[in-house]
Structure 1
């Protein structure tokens, strides 16, 4: 099929604005699971997207010719245009490209497609590269980020560093998209990843996907320095990026070949230019996907057969006439009078995020929205636990040395030494007398005209005060009394001392006991929090920083100082904490945020994320909080109003009627049919019409 001929038949020769001739160009995007065709015009380097259509892509370019035929024709049916169709630019996924060119087998397939559809190819751009340059140009800086292309069956993950795509990987799209992306990031060579994730899908809203990414622990699961910023691009951004790679001045005539366009050279702005002024956003006529068929449907066409009857047909003929009339009547009845129908209204959700400061006050009795005070509650629970550990205390055990000594009295009077009197050896080892000892005084002996002083002396036994081998002194060692001068009293070892031994053993230390107490308390604290929060009557969420513990009783297997290689403890611990009722927080958040909701939206799913950014426990027991919270909003659609609007009307007019409802994105109709092969053309009356609100 030669597309320009068909399109020329469909389009007007002059534009709707002043009769001026307009040149229309096309963009064809081959993404992983989606084909998109867009029509756009350029004037003075300004690109204006007129309309686009999209469909599911099977992955086979040859098999996509018929789909592209339908997409081109769909645009032509709706678009005021011109007699001349201009160039076509291609947007391709990275998997179709190697180096600066298209893979040979893909290039041949594209050439066949171009000939079959009579297109005039201008060039191509890699979609992820176009996005990178587009966003960098828009922000005025060369950004670094993780691009995540979200498609029905696959996920494309690209790493952008300073405005350039340096790594890409495609993985299967499972039920857990965050784990899919994590597995792709694990194969990247970068040790530290940029703390920004950008989600994109050419045709779908990604609000719910963004919620999943916000609730995933990226800073713990992947190589991010901190939790990354999560952004979801609007549905048309990929299309804008590819179409932005087009300017009349920069493109070259290609003689049917397809050449790569560098985004930084073609159609993208410098840091000093305004991206907003170069690309106009559009309100698309229709975005279609094969599965599910959630879209505005075209007007159905019906044809009713005509019958001619001849008189005098007899009984059989009369019966046949009646039968035909019954069948025709049944068909007409179902066509015009459905017995019941369900109209599913499709709406898009929005993610609403906000920060809030409030105080948790145990003395407050109710929520004070104006002062942002939430009542706190002091709760307690007593638990039993036990723990054991190897001992880390040590001490020396053994025997003291002992031996015999001779005590000398050098004084003029006798001396009695009590039991336990201390002697000190040269090595500072102390000994004590084993018994009380009395020593005669010193005397003087005169012989041959000379005097000789004779000391009083006596022998006794002593024992070292401390254990250990150092007390085994040798015979002849002189000792002195600890409390007397050696000029009056002294002692000498009469023999080699013996029996002094020592060795180091493990014992229970004070630190061992302290560690066991902490171990039991720490192990029970999490359970205490859970026990408090599981009490349905209290409905309390505990603030962890307020938890205090007190050991009421404890029992040890060994006492402090006793020899043991291990020690165990059982203890009863009382935990006290300040908590709050989550319903009070929800009430405060609701009251504070409802006034900030976009007009026409409401929250029906509660708060999907509540993150404590900061908290401070005050001396009076109150706690100051800073909380970041998020909720999913849906349009506040009046089902009764819609039922009144469409009841009894033609199905073909639903598109026009529902487009007047600004927040409605699409619809689906299902009928209760007694003839399965006939679809009614009218909706039933209001009492038989069920309106269902659904999100996507």
Structure 2
């Protein structure tokens, strides 16, 4: 066949400048007990993630019917942003509470996911733990596996996960109360086997205002004094949009591997990531190495990629569909024994989502005629063998430099604070330091300081005069009654005392009647104040006697009772004055004593 130069040039242009195929849209669906999040995304041919739109909404009820209804609305919004309804392949992002301790999906959740996929016309590709996706996002951004405490804040609870160098050490569930900081501190302290905690706390959830409130409360807590942090932890908030993108990034990264796109991670990193993801399985089996495919001059690189990509995606979808369609009878759903072999949604790691190992694209370009050997030019008068040996040595060293394996090792040193206490004796008779007996020479200094200080007083006291008056005592018995000075007579709640001893004559009997014995007496109120000014004709009882024996009445009103409130020095005022003056004098004494310290001497005040 004859190939003209023009046809050859056209073939090369089509080979290296292909037309872009239509990108396929994928969906990441975030599910928790309080919200639903959705993210539409696609991938470039090199595996780069392209996010189209992100939406989220809070659950009205913690039911799967409400989740499906909200997810349907979010997918509709994403379709409007993307300008297409062809969003069917989904990666589920599930909160920790929907997973088993081994990392699998709870049986009840798995059944509900199948119903959701059927009702919303979705094809499950896999799932990822939201916490693990967030850690994978941090590693992707910072280049190293992070050590961090994740706090997934939901409506009624907070889910805490502790990661060290990208590995999950443990999880805790915290019920939300009004004491958020104390609850978080208690949960962190429960990781008792961790000597030094990661000095980084990351909060995420759907309620931005609530997250910022919790962040401000955590920032004011004295963490280094309460928990074993090396220094005050960095406390950040991750937006719902970034969390959705993190789940999308995890899906895109592993989907790129499944499609055979050469991504940045090497095989060692992939193996290490798999070993860290205990209990997590892959979505699709690793495809066997494909044979090299030779392109015709009219073929393009992108056509080759599209063909390989379609094959891999088809394998993934068929495997997931097969797992979902094993039992279609709704009455048999509850009897399904969920195993990794027939799970409808298979657990994945964010670093190994499981769409297959990476496969590099192999392209065999057209062969060109071999360039003929150039004739040797003889060189005379030069030590040619030595020049050739030197050139060969340089080329060999350069070749070895680029081909020999290299590794960069980063050694992280975790400082540990050691505190030790020891009692020492300061002796005024010693002249040198005794290291065995812990005796340090010293000298005693004394300083006498005087001063004065004035403070306003706050004490209150009531002062005044008691009321006084004259009463007539009535003796209703036939025997004389002797009342001592200080005897109390009562009028309602007021009490008065006799100013002197009083003898009350006995009653006398006449024909058909009794005349009470009477004696006047002066009384004084016990309490000061106007209340003691009793009105005329008031009847009093005598303490210790029944009213059928003795009573008293006044024929004139009592007078002289008055009171007022004045400011006096209280005990609190006295103590405050003594403390303030003492503090001032101690500071002044320290300043004067420090002037006498010379050389390497230290002043100790006690």
Question: How would you bin the TM-score normalised by the shorter chain?
Answer: 0.3 to 0.5
More helix per residue: 2
Q: Which has the higher contact order (CA 8 A, sep 6+)?
A: 1
Structure with greater proportional strand content: 1
